[in-house]
Chains A and B, each alone.
Chain A
Amino acid sequence: MMNSNALTPGVSEKASLAYFERMLTIRKFEERVYQLRMTGKIIGSVHLCNGQEAVSVGACAARRSDDPVFATYRGHGWAIACGADLAGLFGELMGRAGGVNGGRGGSAYFSVPKVGFYGENSIVGAGVPIANGAALAAHFQRTGRVAISVFGDGAMNQGAVHEAFNFASAMRLPIVFICENNGFAELTPIAATVAQPELYRRAEGYGMPGKRIDGNDPFEVEAAVRTALERARNGEGPTLIEAMTQRIVGHYIGDPEAYRDDAERARLKEVEPIAVMRRRLQEAGCEAQIQAVEERVEATIQAALRKAQDMPPADISKVREHVYA
């Protein structure tokens, strides 16, 4: 049964499938990372972004390819949305020489500057002041770039983030602040740590626009980020976007998620963006296209992983290099 109304109004089937594919690529990458972590092929702390894919995919659809992105330890999806090589990412997480940082960053602290991904950050909120610096550089270099700073709801309570919001707004820096509000500051509900849970309203206090959006709709994210980017590029300063989303996995692999029950976990799986988009595409009669996308994504992930598995381990003889110039 064809029912085009099932798709987001004004969005073509082709665009929906394209965004579905981008989100699914991130999801399948993360699912494979989970397996690799559980079988000991990846060692160390891993924070997956399952459920939050619409934010990175939507924002990066609006991004100019040279707009620098500064993300968090939950950053695999952002790197992929920026265009990072999947084999290089797998290799990084597995400590391979061909990893994007030769295994020095690991899951939680890698960067891929050649695609404008200026890195994850393992200190909550710390990337926000750094992104301001990139905006400062864009201003003086007249490149027209706009920095994109991504952080979670928990980071909204870090002093450095407050400082950075004020600094950026006072100086009208070309930057867009995106808060991925997944409802949990690590293991604690954000509502338990703030008196005003509408985090976007803080923007007013800094003299910048603030907006809460549906972070499960990549098209809504794209539109909001596009508006904010344009505003910043026109010299009108920063915007705070609060994208409401959810992670459908633990804070880290191994998190027992004692803070939510099975019913809540099941509910999240109904509202998460890939499930929603898949349902809409199914209702629009795109079953065959969905299957084609799934096969293509699976093949892409498998090929990338094979390539990473063929990479030699990072070279111990180079472990002392690059401390200084």
Chain B
Amino acid sequence: MPEELSYIDAVNLALAHALEEDERVLIFGEDVAVPGGVFGATRGLKERFGARVFDTPISESAILGAALGAAIMGMRPVAEIMWVDFTLVALDQLVNQAANIRYVSEGRLYAPMTVRTQQGVLAGSCAQHSQSLEAFFAHVPGLIVGLPATVADAYHMLRQAIAADDPTLIIENRGLYRSIKGELDLASPHLGIGEARVVCVGSDVTLVTWGAMVHQADLAAQKLRGDVSVEVIDLRWISPWDHKTVLDSTQKTGRLLVAHEANLQGGFGAEVVSAVSAEMWSSLKAPPKRIGLPNLRIPAAPHLQAAVMPNAESIAQVARDLMGR
């Protein structure tokens, strides 16, 4: 029988298995070793694996630089950046450094490093601990970017990131850590890097999303059942991303809606809409739509956050709009 795990247990298990199977794997970051991570993702790993799991100073550039240097020299580091907002402190190491190594050296050097981080609005989270920044990283050739939405993906996508020979950013969502549970069947086949998952089949609207918003999209599709038939696609990886699954679905439905938690301007939804529009303009029955946070900073008070965050209800409304209902 497959085990039932929480999302964060799946992250922990993926790290434990990676450490167990591969001597080259290192896990480090702020508070990850002795404290076991501020969210508990790395709990117990220090005790089991010793020196390969270690705490670092609060120095994001030093952490990411160390991961990059170790990766170049043949290790498989997994660095944790506690909040995606903190990657901004050390963006140089990801964008100017890690992403360039393979290309500029003509493949003589490469950086098989993984960065685990998490993002998203949670009730009361301040403006510097609640942004969804995935589009920043999708804009950087050379980086792989994934946002696991399910327990199985929390495990498998992290394992694939660690096995990948390129710098890979796994953006988790702390709202999912303990709120979802699921079965993890390690023996069952799973999707690869850059492959999307059809969450539920539908015929009227293709609803593309990723990360925590997958669950809101799924709820929206359920709400609309009998009214609008929604095909929900969990993109999973936004770089590289699965054009084919999105195009095939939109070809079938003729309507595209993209939902993400990040704000709309320059959000990754614009990329998806642009690609679909360019590819199948004449097959579209309605102009594609996007839903996300409006272009503003994020307030801390929960009722203010709720007023601007997309949710199942607002997603369902946009789907109805697409149908002209």
Cβ of B74 under 8 Å from chain A: yes
CA distance A185 to B67 in the complex (A): 28
State whether A133 and B67 are in contact (beta carbons under 8 Å apart), knowing that A111-B109, A140-B75 are contacts in the complex: yes
B11: min CB distance to chain A, Å: 23
B residues in contact with A128, CB < 8 Å: 65
**Whole-angstrom distance between the alpha carbons of A131 and B69 in the complex?**
6
Stretch at the interface among A1-9, A273-281, A317-325: A317-325
Query: Are A140 and B52 in contact (CB-based, < 8 A)?
Result: yes
Smallest Cβ distance from B172 to chain A, in angstroms?
22
B204 within 8 A of A: no
Q: Are B104 and A137 in contact (CB under 8 A)?
A: no
**Across-interface contacts of B66 in A (CB, < 8 A):** 129-130, 132-133, 136, 167
How many Å from the CB of B178 to the closest CB on chain A?
32
Question: Are A133's CB and B104's CB within 8 A?
Answer: no
B64 within 8 A of A: yes
Digit string of A159-202 for contact with B (CB within 8 Å is 1, else 0)? 11001101100110000000000000000000000000000000
Binary interface encoding of chain A residues 106-123 relative to chain B, with 1 for a CB under 8 A from any of its CBs, else 0? 000111011000110111
Alpha-carbon gap, A135 to B68, bound state (A): 11
Which residues of A are found within 8 Å of B75, using beta-carbon distances? Answer: 136-137, 140-141
Q: Of A110, A141, A321, which one neighbours B74 at CB under 8 angstroms?
A: A141
- Asked if B141 CB lies within 8 Å of chain A CBs, one says yes
Residues of chain B within 8 A (CB-CB) of A148 are none
Q: Which residues of A contact B60 (CB under 8 A)?
A: 163
Partner of B109, one of A113, A131, A135: A113
Tell me which residues across on chain B come within 8 A of A113, comparing CB atoms.
Answer: 105, 108-109
Picked from A109, A133, A166, the residue with its CB within 8 Å of the CB of B65 is A133
In the assembled complex, the Cα of A126 lies from the Cα of B65 at a distance in Å of 8
> B65 and A130: CB pair below 8 A?
yes
A170 vs B137: C-alpha distance when bound (angstroms): 31
Min C-beta distance of B239 to chain A, whole Å: 10
Interface residue ranges of B41-62 to A (CB < 8 Å): 51-52, 54, 56-57, 59-62
Contact B164 A135 (CB under 8 A): no
Interface size range of chain B in the complex:
35 or more
B106 within 8 A of A: yes
Flag if B68 contacts A130 (CB, 8 Å).
yes
A36-52 contacts to B (CB < 8 Å): none
B102: CB under 8 A from chain A? yes
Q: Is B83 an interface residue (CB 8 A)?
A: no
Q: Is the CB of A211 closer than 8 A to any CB of chain B?
A: no
Measured between alpha carbons, how far is A160 from B93 in the docked complex, in Å? Answer: 9
Do A130 and B97 have beta carbons less than 8 Å apart?
yes
Contact status A104-B103, CB under 8 Å: yes
- Is B107 within 8 A of A164, CB to CB? no
Provide the residues of chain A in CB contact with B26, threshold 8 Å: 136, 140
Say whether B157 faces chain A, with CB atoms less than 8 Å apart.
no
Please tell me if B72 contacts chain A, counting CB pairs below 8 Å. yes
**Cα(A25)–Cα(B131), bound, Å:** 53
Tell me which of B65, B70, B110 contacts A325 (CB under 8 A).
B110
Let me know if B77 is at the binding interface, CB within 8 A. Answer: yes
Some 26 contacts from A to B, beta carbons below 8 A apart, are: A101-B106, A102-B106, A104-B103, A110-B104, A113-B105, A113-B108, A121-B97, A130-B66, A132-B65, A132-B69, A134-B69, A134-B72, A136-B69, A137-B72, A137-B75, A140-B75, A141-B73, A160-B62, A160-B93, A163-B60, A166-B59, A167-B57, A321-B107, A323-B142, A324-B240, A325-B110
Question: Closest 9 CB pairs between A and B?
Answer: A133-B69, A129-B65, A137-B73, A163-B59, A163-B62, A167-B62, A160-B61, A325-B165, A133-B70
B residues in contact (CB < 8 Å) with A: 24, 26, 51-52, 54, 56-57, 59-75, 77, 90, 92-93, 96-97, 100, 102-110, 141-142, 144, 164-166, 240
A residues touching B (Cβ–Cβ < 8 Å)? 68, 70, 101-102, 104-105, 109-111, 113-114, 118-119, 121-123, 126, 128-138, 140-141, 147, 159-160, 163-164, 166-167, 170-171, 321-325
Taking A111-B108, A130-B68 as known contacts, 12 extra A-B pairs with beta carbons closer than 8 A to each other, sorted by chain A number, are: A68-B73, A114-B108, A123-B92, A123-B96, A129-B93, A130-B65, A132-B66, A133-B65, A137-B72, A160-B93, A167-B56, A321-B107
